[in-house]
Structure 1
Amino acid sequence: EVIKVKSMATQEIGLNEHLESQGVRAYETDLAELIVQLADDKPSHILVPAIHRNRDEIREIFLKEIPGVDPELNAVPAELAAAARAYLREKFMTTKVAISGANFGIAETGTLSVVESEGNGRMCLTLPDTLITVMGIEKVLPRYEDLEVFFQLLPRSSTGERMNPYTSLWTGVTPGDGPQEFHLVLLDNGRTAALADSVGREALNCIRCSACLNVCPVYERAGGHAYGSTYPGPIGAVLTPQL
């Protein structure tokens, strides 16, 4: 078993399906990603993957797919979240390997970062013995100080917050604290070819904030599944053909 932090890079390469074929069960720990996974569904939005599901549907998914869930579970969002939390807590405490994406990597120091709003990422990044990060090569920033502008830009563009609730940074391993084995997988998957395109390379500047989806009249009408790819919306229409 492995636990996972929300990662579009791993969705892009079909990692969960590959692991399943090798006898390894991957558990998504982001609440929306968990809903999508339990329903054997596909994400429909970059930031809120289960936005196409209402709370009654989510209740039915939990009753059917989460072992030992209270059969009297109702559709109150707080109670649905509590049911997911109880289910995931066991996974956090017992699973030895975690897989994450990364929002940004720093060339200068070798530091990686994940920003999130639920705390599940912090659990995955600190509790397991082994951490594996899959990061697209376009996520690398030159200097540590470059994080300043991106840590302001990302939450404001994605959720309208001044700062995201959880910011995790790690640089290799620290004896006796956190994962004791760390692997970084740098993902190309068409990115080098896109970089060679003087116009198309601009799509690699995307920081996955989802602001483009939220103002797009086509996405509003068609929904994320209509794009048939990991990256929906305007950025997906530009980026996906290049990958």
Structure 2
Amino acid sequence: MERVQYWVKELLEAGESSDDLNRIVRNIGQYLGADISLLFLGSPPHKGQQWILHHGIDNSDFDFYLRHSRDDIYLQHYLGQSLTGNMIALQEMLPIKQIRDGWFLEEMIPRMDVDYSISGIYPLSDGKILSLCFHRYHQPFHPSCQQFMQQLLEALAPWGQFFIARNTLESLYGSAPISRGMLKLPDNLTQAEHNVVSLLAQGYDGSEITAIRGVSKETTKSQIKSILHKTGCRHQNQLINKIYCGFKE
């Protein structure tokens, strides 16, 4: 569970940065040995706003799947068998020899060209969903991967609720003060770096920030170094002075 908790913290710290979120999904997939990794959050396909993070699939194949997601026989079978909430090996759930849909066999399967897939959907509030999908082209996943994916799916549900709620609130009332209010920070800082700057501005030192955020000392050092570089500061005192005196445009 420690590894699962680590990824949840990473996603929390990434805020709404698409670059950081996609990087984390890439890292999760690499940890699992996946060739393709996808995280889907929001309204079901074609029914409202959604956020999709992915790695390992080119844009044309990705767009093709989104256009034809309603025709995904695996998805239809998964939902029809009331498997929601579970990470399932799709090719074991429904062997290809049992599929009778000609278009799916002739178009979808050759286009995606994956032999092993583990996917799951977790229901959130207000009709929203969280979905994880991991694919391998030719080699099966290690037996322990499916259990890890199940733990990850369940652990990410609260994050998914929070992500959607925060996005909804910010669309209505604007971003939090740390981003656009009292602390005037450069736009090139990630959400995690914003959080570190906020703690520095409150007087916490590196070791205290490490303890508060539950990350390693190396992570905190790396983030502070990145912040100093991005803000053009030589040391933390200069950074704090800039925060309250204002950054030059």
Q: Same fold (TM over 0.5)?
A: no
Normalising by structure 1, we get a TM-score of 0.25
Structure with the higher helix share, 1 or 2: 2
